[in-house]
Chain A
Amino acid sequence: EPEVTQTPSHQVTQMGQEVILRCVPISNHLYFYWYRQILGQKVEFLVSFYNNEISEKSEIFDDQFSVERPDGSNFTLKIRSTKLEDSAMYFCASVSRGYNEQFFGPGTRLTVL
C-alpha cells in the first residue's frame, strides 16, 4: 500500500543551525502539507503546497521556514536558523485530487539544543 515517507526519523541540531526535513508523498498525490506537534500539544498546521507554490500558511510559518519540491518526488521543509521552540515532531501529509483524505508520514522528531 502506498505511504508517505519522511527522513530523517530523528534530527538533533544546535540552535541557529539550518535543518532540512524531507518527505516523499504518495506518488499520484498533488496537495502537500507540513504540520508540527510540540510534545503534549495539538497537531498544528504549518503550510500547504500545490502546483509548485504555497497555497496556505499559518502564523507559525514565518520567514525562517521555506518549502520546496525540488523534483517530482521529494517535498522539503527548511528551517533556516533553528530555535529551541522549534523542537517538535514534524509531519508531512499528502492528498490526491478528488479524494481529500490526508495521509500522514511517520514524522521527523526535531530536537534543537
Chain B
Amino acid sequence: KQEVTQIPAALSVPEGENLVLNCSFTDSAIYNLQWFRQDPGKGLTSLLLIQSSQREQTSGRLNASLDKSSGRSTLYIAASQPGDSATYLCAVRNSGYSTLTFGKGTMLLVSP
C-alpha cells in the first residue's frame, strides 16, 4: 500500500528565503506526482504535475523534482512571499487514472 510522507510538517521563514519541501513515497512504481496548495478551509489548487518519466517541472518561482527510484520529490520555492503561506500537499498516482494518495502536507508561514 502506497504511503506518502512530507517533511517538515510545518515551516516558518522570513520573506525572501528560498525553501525546500520534501515528499517521500514507499512504492516507487508511480505513474505521476502532483503538488497542491491548500489555503485554510479551502480546496486544493494544483501547482505542478510530474510524470514518472520526468525529472522536474517548473512554474514561475516553483520547481518540483522527482527521483522515482529513491521515492522522493522536492518542491523548491524561490524568493518566498507572504502570499505563499499555505499548506503544500504532495500526492502520487500509481496508475493512469487511479486515485491519488496524499501526504499530510507541510504548513508554510512566510512572514513579512
Residues of A participating in the B interface, judged by any CB pair closer than 8 Å:
31, 33, 35, 41-45, 48, 50, 55-56, 58, 89, 91, 93, 95, 100-107, 109
Say yes or no: A41 contacts B104, CB within 8 Å: yes
Query: Contact: A103 with B46, CB < 8 Å?
Result: yes
Cβ B99 vs Cβ A48 within 8 A = yes
Say yes or no: is B102 at the interface (Cβ < 8 Å to chain A). yes
Dominant secondary structure at the B interface: strand
Chain A residues whose CB sits within 8 angstroms of the CB of B98 once the complex forms: 48, 56
Q: Check if B43 sits within 8 Å of A107, measured CB to CB.
A: yes
Closest to A48 in B: B99
Query: Does B41 have its Cβ within 8 Å of any Cβ on chain A?
Result: yes
Residues of B within 8 A of A91 (CB): 43-44
Interface residues of B (CB under 8 A from A): 31-32, 34, 36, 41-46, 49, 89, 91, 93, 96-105
Interface of A is mostly: strand
Bound: A48/B100 CA distance, A: 10
Query: How far does the Cβ of B83 sit from chain A's closest Cβ, in whole Å?
Result: 19
Distance between Cα atoms of A109 and B96 in the complex (Å): 29
Q: Nearest Cβ distance between residue B38 and chain A, in whole angstroms?
A: 9
9 inter-chain pairs at a CB distance below 8 angstroms, sorted by A residue, are A42-B104, A44-B102, A48-B97, A48-B99, A56-B99, A91-B44, A101-B46, A104-B46, A107-B42
The reply to whether A106 and B42 contact each other, CB–CB distance below 8 Å, is yes
